[in-house]
Amino acid sequence: MRRAARRYRIERGSRCVLHHGGTDYPGTVANISLGGALLRLSGGSPAPLRPGAVCVLLLCSKPHLCPVKYTCQVVRCDDAAMAVQFHELDYGSYRVKCRKLLLALTA
């Protein structure tokens, strides 16, 4: 008998929230990889979110219900999209540096 594997996929267009400086910016995921994501924020890229800004990405639309948080840094932004690079994954008491995880997964 074949075992059914549980797979979780973040679809293009999935809702997300980018948190920075006490403000939540809702948007959608345009593209995502192990190292980062391309986001489309509602209303375009806000002024405080420029390259170098550190923020938290939640891959859900309700921040209080989202168990996984990605600490990330804005690497590129324009009116249409924002690219972020993941630095740390936080899942409750489990916290890991994304670079270390990426190296372990691709070794």
Output the domain CATH number for residue 95.
2.40.10.220
Please tell me the predicted confidence (pLDDT) of residue 101. 66
- Is 49 part of any domain? yes
Q: Which stretch of DSSP H or E encloses residue 98?
A: helix 98-106
The first and second tokens of residue 31, run together, are 């593209």
**More reliable by pLDDT, 38 or 106:** 38
Please tell me the predicted confidence (pLDDT) of residue 82. 92
Span 6-16, mean pLDDT? 69
Write out the residue range of the structural domain in which residue 102 sits.
15-106
Please tell me the predicted confidence (pLDDT) of residue 7. 52
Report strand pairing: 94-97 vs 54-58.
Answer: unpaired
3-state secondary structure of 88: strand
Q: How many CB atoms lie within 10 A of CB 89?
A: 17
Q: Number of structural domains, the chain?
A: 1
Tell me the pLDDT tens digit for each residue of 29-84: 999 888 899 999 988 777 778 999 999 999 887 777 778 889 999 999 988 889 99
CA dist., res. 105 & res. 93, Å (int): 21
CA dist., res. 68 & res. 52, Å (int): 22
- Is 1 part of any domain? no
Please tell me the predicted confidence (pLDDT) of residue 10. 65
Longest dimension (CA), the chain: 55
- Is 81 part of any domain? yes
- Is 57 part of any domain? yes
- Is 50 part of any domain? yes
